[in-house]
Amino acid sequence: MVENKTYENLMVAFAGESQANRKYLAYAKKAEKEGKINAAKLFRAASDAETLHALKHFEVAGKVGSTVDNLKDGIAGETHEYKEMYPDFVKEAESVGNKAALMSFTFAMKAEEMHAKLYQDALENLDQTEEIFYLLCPVCGNIEKIRPDKCSICGVSGEKFIQY
């Protein structure tokens, strides 16, 4: 294990690089909508660079375990989000009347519950050799194994789901 302060620094760097990745991806999407293709490409390249940094920091910190351990960690993280974190966020957004935040938090909370179930299913069927395809709702982040007619969380057409 990495010495304590260095470990803490790796985890702070991981968090910062992870946030930069998402931020630059959001900037890239906005630049694309505005027709600023060169800026969009730069933001996408920087987003990918930040991902490389984050992944290396996480690995060096010793945070990547076996697939079983990683699935258990995924289950714990997603379960925490949908049972403990997002319900409080939903209540707060509701209390102040912020409908956009309320919808964002609600969609995420419901999707995180599905993610936890999918991780649990993957853990229970880890040795299955038949390939499974996952379909991602591009609006709310819901993941399904079968393309739905429409998303059970946000209602977007199943045709818009992205296959993995």
Each residue's pLDDT tens digit, 71-90 = 999 999 999 999 999 999 99
Instruction: Give the tokens for residue 60.
Output: 């060096």
Q: Are 135 and 144 in contact (CB under 8 A)?
A: yes
* Per-residue pLDDT, 146: 97
Distance CA 160, CA 44 (A): 22
Domains in the chain, start-ordered, CATH in brackets? 4-60 (1.20.1260.10), 65-129 (1.20.1260.10), 131-164 (2.20.28.10)
pTM for the whole thing? Answer: 0.88
